[in-house]
Amino acid sequence: MEQLDLFASLDAAKTPAAPDPREEYLELVKTLNYHAERYYAQDEPEISDYEYDMMNNRLKAIEKEHPDWVVPESPSKRVGWKAEKGVLVKHNVPMLSLQDVFSREEVDEFVNSMKEQFGEEAEFLVETKIDGLSMALRYEEGELKLAVTRGDGITEGEDVTMNAKMIKDVVRTLPEPVPYIEIRGEVYMTREAFAKVNEQAEEEGKKPFANPRNCAAGTLRQIDTRITKERGLSLFIFNVQETRGITFKTHLEGYEYLKRNGVKVIETYYKCRTADEVWDAIQKIGEARGSLAYDIDGAVVKLNNLAERESLGATIKFPRWAIAYKYPPEEKETKLLSVEVNTGRTGRVTPVAVFEPVRLCGTTVSRATLHNQDFITQLGLGIGDTIVVYKSGEIIPKIKAVVESKRPDNWELYQMPQECPVCGHKLIREADAADLKCVNMSCPATVAGRIINFVSRDCMDVKGFGDEYIRKLVEAGFLTDIADIYSLVSKREELIEAHILGLEKNTNKLLEAIEASRKDSPADRVLGGLGIPGVGKATAKELIRTFGSIDAIAEADKEALSQTSDIGDITAEGIYGFFHDPDNMALIGRLKEAGLNFERSEENVGTSLAGLSICITGTLPGMSRDEASALIEKNGGKVVSSVSKKTSYLLMGEDAGSKERKARELGVPIIDLEALKGMIGGE
């Protein structure tokens, strides 16, 4: 704590009191647990690993100074996060974490302590620490029997065997079988595979993953094995956990056995004897980070001799025979030259900083996303500013701060344009978001993305109309907007001749699916497919239910729109603006001429669930979520995507996750499918 000088002490009464250390500690526990849940349970981190590590170091320092303050829920008492999904499996061997260190002094201290206990001949391995999701594989008589995630690291994890078998690096049968062996590795994604997944998410209008680690974690723990296979997960094995029928004297002996059996082990490792050699190996790995095809978040230093490991044992969180050195984020100053503004396939407009090139983590970077105007304003960023650039997760360049002391004399805060840089249409701001979007349905930058959204399952549900077909049709000039979909039937012969959709049979099949969507899709699906910001599946249904038709919505004023349930002023402004754009209305007219349904179905709707909002979670017995949603809406209820204090009920099936916990915290009643049917009764 800074010392006050004599004069400052005279004004002590005016100086705010220093924060209470005990209160700071409790707040740190709360904050770290929040971010741990975002990281482990939800796969949606809000802060970088480095920021988390710095807070965690502060927590450890306080607990060391005040051990009597330590509370049971402290992160220092936890290894991972409680497993909540799927089938839970007991750990045979704890899947512990590693003690993080951040300086050469700490590395030397570890090496020297090992030398003191086991002599100068003690050997170390320095390996890349892969940034992924930990998983153990159990083999019996050479056959893969079980794959399990770390979970809480001590007691149990999640059975992910079926998904693990979809990973190309997972060996199902060992050529040199032994009675039993359990090995542990890290599931990860290459940067190339991650880029493909996020590119597809952007095309489909979905939220992209924050980083490869969270994408890998979310993929491994979901239900559909086809998704796991499509996303191309990878695996490195870094430890032999337990064996029967075979023994190894060293870690490297275990690696040699695994490699003979086709198992992919950590590919970069160094055998060392001295503290200098260990530090040199850490530096080599650090210098190579930028050239790797995947992310690493540090270097692991561990004893090679397994008997020495056994004698040291572990704490409740860490093995005593290994540490993880975490690399500090590399930062450099550079000068902002300009800002490029790009319109993506979903219409989202993104500003990109262009700066004088700098070397970070082994690569040259000259561009970084600025996200939106709010981010720019918060930074206080203007052309000509000196900025601090770093790499997030060792791959993504980001701007950390502006060096105000080096600001140019003619400085002005950068303001994003209000018109689309591609088509010139006015941009709108999404409801409850900071992003600007181009809503011109004929904007060349968004044509493919809008069509992909329009034919998707939640909108017009055109069976077999895949993304690749759409991109080819756009490139060949057959599709320039969504209305062109319904003119494809008149170009059947051209399509067959061009082989874009395959031969005659495939072409006919898709044209029939398009025709079925024209006749069968209700007005709310048509409305939802238009891509109006803030108007998704649920909002489209509410609008059609309230106004009766798309034409009536188009004629409504902002006040009437904003009075619709769950529609705020920003969404109302976006809807009004969309339907008062001449180009959009011309396209709407073509859709109407094509015979799409613009009016609400007169199908009888029950009232037994009127006024109730119901959230669905888990797997329902004998009924899909779409069928359950339709049942609720048919009886006057409303389906919501998340649990809040306003939620009337949580409809819960098997394998429910965090929504159950949230409902119990808020006191939201939880019902099963039978209870829902009982509420509906004769209706």
Task: Indicate which residues carry an active-site annotation.
Answer: 129
Please state, in angstroms and rounded to a whole number, the distance separating the CA atoms of residues 455 and 279: 56
Q: How many CB atoms lie within 10 A of CB 505?
A: 9
Neighbours of 666 (CB within 10 A): 13
What is the CB-side half-sphere exposure of residue 107 using CA atoms within 13 A?
25
| Residues contacting residue 525 through CB under 8 Å, at least 6 positions apart | 458, 459, 460, 461, 540
Closest CA to 228 of 214, 216, 212: 216
Kind of pairing between the strands at 99-101 and 322-325: parallel
State phi, psi for 570 to the nearest 5 degrees: -65, -45
Distances (CA, A) of 614 to 539, 635, 647: 15, 12, 6
Phi, psi of 424, rounded to the nearest 5 degrees: 85, 0
How do 348-360 and 436-438 pair as beta strands? antiparallel
Length of the chain in terms of residues written: 683
Please report how many Cα atoms fall inside a 13 Å half-sphere around the Cα of residue 391, on the Cβ side: 21
First and final CA of the chain: distance in angstroms?
69
Burial class (CB in 10 A: 0-12, 13-18, 19+), 414: buried
Answer whether 432's CB lies under 8 Å from 334's CB.
Answer: no
Report yes or no: 491 and 464 within 8 Å, Cβ to Cβ.
no
Residues 6 or more apart whose Cβ sits within 8 Å of residue 218:
43, 209
Tracing tokens 């051990």 back to the chain, one arrives at 67
- What are the C-alpha distances in Å from 250 to residues 243, 311, 314, 491? 13, 14, 18, 69
Q: Which two tokens stand for residue 213?
A: 């680690």
CA 224 to CA 221: how far, in whole Å?
Answer: 9
How distant, in Å, are the alpha carbons of 15, 138, 498, 511, 518 from that of 493? 82, 56, 9, 12, 21
Say which DSSP state 405 is in. Answer: G
- Cα 474 to chain centroid, rounded: 29
- Look up residue 304 and give its amino acid: N
What's the gap between Cα 224 and its chain centre?
Answer: 17
3-class DSSP state of 368: strand
d(CA 153, CA 324): 17
* DSSP notation for 483-496: GGGGGGGGGHHHHH
φ/ψ of residue 190, rounded to 5: -70, 160
In the DSSP assignment, the letter for residue 388 is E
